[in-house]
């Protein structure tokens, strides 16, 4: 039943994305969440959201591309609404979000530090947890002695059950095949430096982007 409600909310999202709603009318991370779930449909709002999503991983520094803690899903006119329904409600209202019982501070949107302000552990939000960010640095060359020397550093950013973002050391072998990274087997001189992000939308369709620098 939860997935049916979520699907209905996403269908409503598609209708919202065809409306002329100013992108500044709601927090950009709400737009990123909606547009990512819907597979980045063509609209001014989703174009802006995707630009921000990619700009955040464009070095340097590399930031979490989705900062779900800046999307106030708990703020809603409908107390019984599910998280995606709250999110849609925030987006389509187009006006200021009413922060009931929340102190008015410059960081008002930071409702919960580094995680969603509602429970998003349901599989309906697996598209959030599908996001992975790889920071890739690799170089390879043959020395004057004929030895093949290589050096690589890979860091991977992932999202936890409640949308919290973490970054840890990973390995070259973990880099997705969709990346342009491909160290030659014959030890030719090779240099690669990029940030690669991948995701799946609500229906499981795969997407990725890579920024070289």
Q: Classify each residue of 182-213 as buried b or exposed e, where b means 16 or more C-beta atoms within 10 Å of its C-beta.
A: eeeeebeeeebebbbbbbbbbeeeebebbeee
The CA distance from 89 to 73, in Å, is 9
From residue 85, alpha-carbon distances to 7, 10, 34, 81, 189 in Å are 10, 8, 11, 6, 52
The CA distance from 63 to 206, in Å, is 21
Highest mean pLDDT range out of 30-34, 62-66, 117-121? 62-66
Q: Which of 115, 117, 91 has the alpha carbon at shortest distance from 102?
A: 117
Per-residue pLDDT, averaged over 171-180, amounts to 96
Question: What global pTM score does this model have?
Answer: 0.78
Q: Which residues pair with 24 in a beta bridge?
A: none
Joined together, the tokens standing for residue 116 give 């969603």
* pLDDT tens, residue by residue, 88-107: 655 554 444 333 333 333 33
* pLDDT tens, residue by residue, 138-163: 999 988 888 999 999 999 999 999 99
**Preceding peptide of 61 cis, ω within 30°:** yes
Joined together, the tokens standing for residue 203 give 């229906």
Please say whether the dihedral angle defined by the alpha carbons of residues 114, 116, 119 and 120, taken in this order, is positive or negative.
negative
- Report domain extents, the chain: 2-127, 129-212
Residue with more model confidence, 111 or 126: 126
């Amino acid at each position: 039943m939860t997935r049916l409600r979520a699907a209905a909310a996403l269908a409503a999202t598609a209708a919202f994305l065809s409306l002329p709603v100013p992108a500044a009318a709601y927090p950009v991370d709400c737009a990123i969440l909606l547009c990512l779930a819907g597979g980045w449909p063509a609209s001014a709002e989703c174009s802006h959201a995707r630009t921000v999503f990619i700009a955040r991983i464009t070095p340097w520094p590399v930031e979490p591309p989705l900062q779900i803690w800046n999307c106030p899903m708990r703020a809603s006119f409908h107390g019984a609404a599910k998280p995606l329904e709250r999110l849609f409600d925030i987006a389509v209202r187009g006006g200021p979000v009413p922060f009931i019982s929340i102190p008015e501070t410059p960081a008002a949107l930071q409702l919960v530090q580094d995680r969603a302000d509602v429970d998003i552990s349901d599989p309906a939000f697996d598209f959030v947890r599908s996001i992975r960010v790889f920071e890739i640095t690799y170089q390879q060359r043959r020395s004057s002695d004929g030895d093949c020397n290589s050096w690589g550093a890979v860091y991977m950013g992932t999202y936890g059950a409640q949308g919290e973002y973490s970054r840890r050391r990973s390995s070259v072998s973990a880099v997705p095949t969709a990346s342009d990274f491909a160290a030659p087997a014959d030890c030719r001189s090779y240099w690669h430096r990029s940030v690669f992000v991948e995701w799946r939308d609500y229906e499981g369709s795969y997407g990725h982007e890579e920024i070289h620098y």
